[in-house]
Amino acid sequence: MAVSRAIIPSFVPVQPGIENQDEDNLLLPLIALIFHRDYAKYIHGEGKNMFKQHLIIFVAVVTMTDVMVIQQSYAQANTPKSNIVNSVYLTIKDQKFGIKDSVITGTIVNNSTYQIKLAQVYALLYNGNHLITVVSGLVDVTTLNPGDDSAFVVSLLGLSFERYTLMPGGIPA
């Protein structure tokens, strides 16, 4: 979306040579416009409360944005590497690691022509090449008919590890 120079106040610098500003860059000029208007009133002894309210809101928004960026960076930096080893009978798909609640979720699928009883998902947790432990997950439906699938969750209980491998298990009937 092209931002018209007409709606951007003259005191807000626009990068020379760039005709189309990003939509995200529109927020800064709007904030500047609000503060410029309120600051002008504040200097002349008018609207002191409004200026303070806008300043508080601005600081809160900037703080929340910073916290969200830090949390996202932390999550990306601390998300363990994953691997899936499927069996002849069962496949794991849509797996996700939840850093907040320390769980792995996904779907286990019976891709065989057999009914699978006691379906489970196992997570093998590693630091480097050293196996720390194996954790079994909970599957919503433990008996899967051919073609059926079920959600699963593996609770990691706050364990610390660098990578994990998921493996489905069950007994063909």
* Residue, of 31 and 166, whose pLDDT is higher: 166
Who contacts 33 (Cβ-Cβ below 8 Å, separation ≥6)?
9, 12
Q: Give Cβ neighbours of residue 165 (< 8 Å, ≥ 6 apart).
A: 82, 83, 84, 85, 123, 124, 126
User: What's residue 70's pLDDT?
Assistant: 45
- The owner of tokens 């020379």 is 16
Domains of the chain: 5-78 (no CATH), 81-172 (2.60.40)
Query: In this predicted model, what pLDDT tens digit does every residue of 111-167 receive, in sequence order?
Result: 999 999 999 999 999 998 999 999 999 999 989 999 999 999 999 887 889 999 999
pTM over 0.95: no
